[in-house]
Every structure is written in C-alpha cells, then in structure tokens.
Amino acid sequence: MNFWETFYRNKLALTGSGIVLLLFFVSVFAPLIAPYDPGQIDLKNVLLPPSLDHWFGTDQLGRDVLSRMIWGARISLKVGFVATGVAIIIGTLLGAVAGYYGGWLDAGIMRFVDIMLCFPTFFLILAVIAFLEPSIWNIMIIIGLTGWMGVTRLVRADFISLRERDFVKAAKVIGAGDLRIIFIHILPNAMASILVAATLGIAGAILTESALSFLGIGVQPPTPSWGNILTAGKDNIDIAWWLSLYPGLAILITVVGYNLLGEGIRDSLDPRLKK
C-alpha cells in the first residue's frame, strides 16, 4: 500500500488536510472574503454582539471581528511557515553534520542541543524579545531560532542509520564527496521525518505567536492577530464573550488541523503501519 492510499484511508488526516487547506484559502483571499476593512474604527458600533451585519460581533473600537480574524489568519500562516522554515534549516544542517560525521562533532552538537533544551522555550523567547522590538519578523525569527532542537535529533537519528547503508558505501567507493553524499544521497531519504516535523512545527509556531500576541509582546496593533483579539476579549470578558470565543476556537481548530495532518503523514510514511 503506497503513501496516498494509506493517507486517504485515514479520516483524521483528511480532516486535518481540509482544515489546513481552508486556512490557506482564507489567508490568500482575505481581501476578497473579509466583509469590512479590519482596521476600520466605528465608535458608534462598539462591542456589538454577533448579528447579520457583524457575524462575529465588533470589538472595543467598533471593528468587525470576523474581518480581523480573516486577516489574522494571514499572520498565523506567515509566522508558522517562516518560523518553522528557520527551525527546519538549522535543525537539518546540524543534525546532518552530527549524524554523518559522528565523533567530537556529534558530541559537541548534541551537548549544545541538551543545553538549549534545558531552557524553557517560551521564557527564552520572552527574554530575547525584551531586548528587541516586538515586530512580526523578530517574532518569526526568534521562534525559529528556539525551535530547531527536535528537528536536529530526528535528522541525526536518520543519518546515523542511513550512513551505513549500501548505497552510501557505493557512493563513497566511486569517489563522491561528503557534501554530495549528505545532500544528494542521504538527505532525500530523511525527508519523511523532516516533513512530519515541519507540519507539527507549524502548529507550535502558530500557538506560540498567539500566546505572545495575547501577552502584548507579539504582533502589535493595529495589525490583526488572533492573539491580540484575545487580549481585547480578556479586557471585556464580562460583556463581550465573542471576543474570546471565536479567536480561541480559530487557534484550537488550526493547531488541531496541523497536528492531525502531521500525524497522518507520519502514519502513512511509517512502513510498520502499512499492510
């Protein structure tokens, strides 16, 4: 049974794929889908409950919550992909070097990984942001720079296993250099683990950005973000429940969707689960 057949049989994986595709669609076509300008202030319609005019209600400045959430999906997608991309690049390079060469390089890299894992990631991000301007690009880079350790371990384990295979020994016999062996022969065979790690990493990055924005040190207003919409909900929880409910559900569904997709890919690529 090949990958696609196994994947199509996994209903949870298909559900996750649907959620991810919907998020892509909303992000790409946000200017066309959003019923209002997300930054349009209307002090005459402050904290209106959900209605036919404003499906998700309005916030404390009279801005349409649905429109802000649709545009906020773009922020989530951008953060997820850029931050995870940074983490994947760093983790893959370090894991490949450690797994292929072994010896003191392997020991040094893995001890550095252990040191990084000793620090609570979220508080490390908070400490770094305290010294930098809380812009969207700084947030993405910092999340990426603090999220590569798991990828390094996965790639290292794959390289340790693959470097002893016959096709690698054959490549060495014909005179292939280390870089060619690493990037042409071994890395493509380790892409399954990297793909799963990337999918799950996107969910983690979106969750981290939302938490930072909720605390007021992530994406800064007036740029819409699910996290800073939640902040407005916290300040008006007694009279505007919709400001907390809808962005909270959006974060939950998005993270669950990416997790389901990642686990579906992993199950489909795992030969032990194929019949």
159-196 pLDDT, tens per residue? 998 888 888 889 888 888 889 999 998 998 888 889 88
Query: Are 168 and 182 contacting, i.e. CB atoms less than 8 angstroms apart?
Result: no
- Please tell me whether residue 88 adopts helix, strand or coil conformation: helix
Q: Which CATH architecture has domain 3-273?
A: Orthogonal Bundle (1.10)
Number of CB atoms found within 10 A of residue 33's CB: 15
pLDDT (mean) for 140-146:
89
Using the predicted structure, report yes or no on whether residue 275 has a pLDDT greater than 50.
no
In tens, the pLDDT along 40-82 reads 888 888 888 999 988 998 888 889 999 999 999 988 888 889 9
Assigned token pair, 117? 């894992």
pLDDT at 68: 92
Assigned token pair, 233? 């909900």
pLDDT at 127: 79
pLDDT at 101: 92
DSSP per-residue letters across 228-254:
HHHHHHHHTTTT-THHHHHHHHHHHHH
pTM of the predicted model, to two decimals? Answer: 0.87
